[in-house]
């Protein structure tokens, strides 16, 4: 009896990809597996046929010879074997969870995060700081292999170097990480004296971090390759330095703008004058007009922050707070009493907000009585 075309057996075209062939094989094998068709002899034959087709078409060399010479080109080179149902499930779960055979056990090291405390001046103007970071680095003695110099790791005796073992429960079989080698597929008989087989050692390293001008809370600087050491020769992770700007005694930051409160005396608020105001660039003179009220905002252009993301600098917004004098002398009290009496005669003209507020209160109370 002549054999059917292997592409026809799996139901794929001759230009099918490796992934398409594997998917088709799983579908056919699941359908005709003898465990699912215990009393159907033809199903077992179709299952074996699918196994043989997959064995050839999943192998690049065999597939090339088959495409050129047909069945004659691979005669005697197929096992005609029988793949257990657990093999099919093992392939499926292996692809999903990364446990397939022959996969590399090299792993990139973990990323690290470092919180860098900055004062507002350094965050706005930029600086360079040195930080000490506890981390793991590849062991120099064994070059990260974990094995004693002059020796090497061998395949794990439990999983045979696959890094996975199969656990069968009834009808199903699922791959799990090998408990002996923890998925590495290797075991070390003679561990390195320095790292004790880990392939990495703990160290504290000093790094120089250049903080660009304009950073803010939560901004991060990435230092490539300064994270944890990789496993089994894998590349190291990265270090992310996160900015944590401390509260400032004078300024509060809001994006590009800075805010501050300026206490002024009752006399300065009433008569006006000039005040020296601090900025992050130095001191400037701020002109206070006469009759300035508490809460008045003065904007100093371009005295804020130039963001690390670019664009123009923000502004400095100064909020005036009129301070009531305390610890008055006898003479000051006399003058204040005299001023109070004079002011009461002027009424609404000199205290318009006070007069309108009391008028509103009077109307409210009269309305309740009515």
User: What domains can be seen in the chain, in order of their start residue?
Assistant: 6-83 (1.10.287.110), 112-245 (2.10.230.10), 252-323 (2.60.260.20), 330-369 (no CATH)
- Predicted pLDDT at 129: 95
257-303 pLDDT per residue, tens = 999 999 999 889 999 989 999 998 889 999 999 999 999 999 999 99
The average pLDDT across 300-315 equals: 92
CA distance from start to end of the chain: 114
58-71 pLDDT per residue, tens = 888 888 888 877 87
Q: 179 and 166 in contact (C-beta within 8 Å)?
A: no
- Predicted pLDDT at 2: 66
169-225 pLDDT per residue, tens = 655 667 788 887 777 777 888 889 888 887 888 888 899 999 999 999 999 999 998
- As given in the structure block, the two tokens for residue 71 are 């069945």
334-351 pLDDT per residue, tens = 998 988 888 777 656 666
- Tell whether the model's pLDDT for residue 360 goes beyond 80: no
Pairwise CA distance, residues 319 & 288, whole Å: 11
* β-pair partners for 297: 319
2 vs 236, higher pLDDT? 236
Residue appearing with tokens 């996975």: 164
Pairwise CA distance, residues 318 & 298, whole Å: 5
Pairwise CA distance, residues 253 & 243, whole Å: 14
Q: Choose the weakest-confidence range: 98-112, 313-327, 355-369.
A: 98-112
Average pLDDT, the chain: 82
Q: pLDDT band for position 167 (50/70/90)?
A: confident
Q: 258 and 214 in contact (C-beta within 8 Å)?
A: no
Pairwise CA distance, residues 153 & 156, whole Å: 9
Q: Is the dihedral of CA 326, 329, 330, 332 positive or negative?
A: negative
The structure's pTM equals 0.55
Q: 181 and 188 in contact (C-beta within 8 Å)?
A: no
């Amino acid at each position: 009896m002549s054999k059917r075309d292997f592409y026809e057996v799996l139901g794929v075209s001759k230009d099918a990809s490796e992934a398409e062939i594997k998917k088709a094989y799983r579908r056919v094998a699941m359908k005709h597996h003898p465990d699912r068709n215990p009393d159907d002899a033809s199903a077992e034959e179709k299952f074996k046929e699918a196994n043989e087709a997959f064995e050839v078409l999943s192998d690049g060399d065999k597939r090339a010879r088959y495409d050129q010479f047909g069945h004659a080109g691979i005669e005697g080179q197929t096992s005609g074997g029988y793949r257990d149902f657990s093999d099919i499930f093992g392939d499926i779960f292996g692809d999903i969870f990364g446990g397939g055979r022959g996969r590399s056990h090299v792993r990139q090291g973990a990323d690290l995060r470092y919180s860098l405390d900055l004062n507002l001046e350094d965050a706005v103007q930029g600086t360079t700081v040195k930080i000490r970071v506890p981390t793991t680095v590849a062991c120099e003695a064994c070059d990260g292999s974990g094995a004693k110099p002059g020796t090497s790791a061998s395949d794990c005796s439990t999983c045979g170097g696959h890094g996975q073992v199969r656990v069968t429960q009834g009808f199903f079989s699922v791959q799990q990480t090998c408990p002996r080698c923890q998925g590495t597929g290797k075991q070390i008989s003679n561990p390195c004296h320095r790292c004790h087989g880990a392939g990495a050692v703990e160290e504290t390293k000093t790094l120089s971090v250049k903080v660009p001008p304009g950073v803010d809370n939560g901004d991060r600087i990435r230092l490539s390759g300064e994270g944890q050491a990789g496993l089994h020769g894998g590349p190291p992770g990265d270090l992310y330095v996160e900015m944590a700007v401390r509260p400032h005694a004078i300024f509060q930051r809001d994006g590009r703008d800075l805010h501050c409160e300026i206490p002024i005396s009752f006399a300065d608020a009433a008569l006006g004058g000039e005040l020296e105001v601090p900025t992050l660039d130095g001191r400037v003179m701020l002109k206070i007009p006469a009759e300035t009220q508490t809460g008045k905002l003065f904007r100093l252009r371009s005295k804020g922050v130039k963001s690390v993301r670019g664009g123009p600098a923000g502004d400095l917004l100064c909020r005036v707070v009129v301070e009531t004098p305390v610890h008055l002398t006898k003479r000051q009290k006399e003058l204040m009493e005299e001023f109070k009496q004079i002011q009461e005669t002027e009424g609404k003209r000199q205290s318009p907000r006070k007069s309108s507020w009391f008028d509103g209160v009077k109307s409210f109370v009269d309305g309740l009585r009515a």
